[in-house]
């Protein structure tokens, strides 16, 4: 399992459009991909679940990836999130 801390810098936080883009990116991988914030977890492949986290500007999250393509997923999703949020 790989984990990485990420801070959301976007003034709009992780609102619907970037969350939907993150879901599309996460679905490219076989690994389980989870976003953790304030003790709550959400499957990064579910837009509904991501939105329940209420991620706003300044939120600290942990990107957690576990599975056969976890290293590739972590590299690509980390880059993707830096551009996105």
Per-residue confidence (pLDDT) for residue 85, from 0 to 100: 80
d(CA 73, CA 31): 8
Domains and CATH numbers, the chain: 2-84 (3.30.1340.10)
Phi (first) and psi of residue 25, to 5 degrees: -65, -45
**Regions in the chain scoring below 50 on pLDDT:** none
Per-residue confidence (pLDDT) for residue 38, from 0 to 100: 93
The catalytically annotated residue of 1, 7, 9, 15 is: 15
61 touches 82 (CB < 8 A)? no
Per-residue confidence (pLDDT) for residue 53, from 0 to 100: 96
Q: Kindly give, in sequence order, each residue whose CB lies less than 8 Å from that of residue 16, ignoring residues fewer than 6 positions away.
A: 47, 51
Per-residue confidence (pLDDT) for residue 22, from 0 to 100: 96
**Active site annotation includes 7:** no
Per-residue confidence (pLDDT) for residue 60, from 0 to 100: 94
Per-residue confidence (pLDDT) for residue 20, from 0 to 100: 95
5 touches 23 (CB < 8 A)? no
Report DSSP state, residue 71: H
Per-residue confidence (pLDDT) for residue 84, from 0 to 100: 78
Per-residue confidence (pLDDT) for residue 83, from 0 to 100: 84
8 touches 58 (CB < 8 A)? yes
């Amino acid at each position: 399992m790989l984990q990485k801390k990420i801070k959301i810098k976007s003034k709009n936080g992780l609102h619907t459009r970037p969350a939907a883009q993150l879901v599309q990116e996460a679905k490219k991988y076989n690994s389980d991909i989870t976003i953790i914030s304030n003790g709550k977890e959400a499957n990064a492949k579910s837009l509904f679940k991501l939105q329940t986290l209420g991620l706003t500007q300044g939120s600290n999250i942990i990107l957690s990836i576990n599975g056969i393509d976890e290293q590739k997923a972590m590299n690509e999703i980390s880059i993707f999130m830096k551009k996105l949020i």
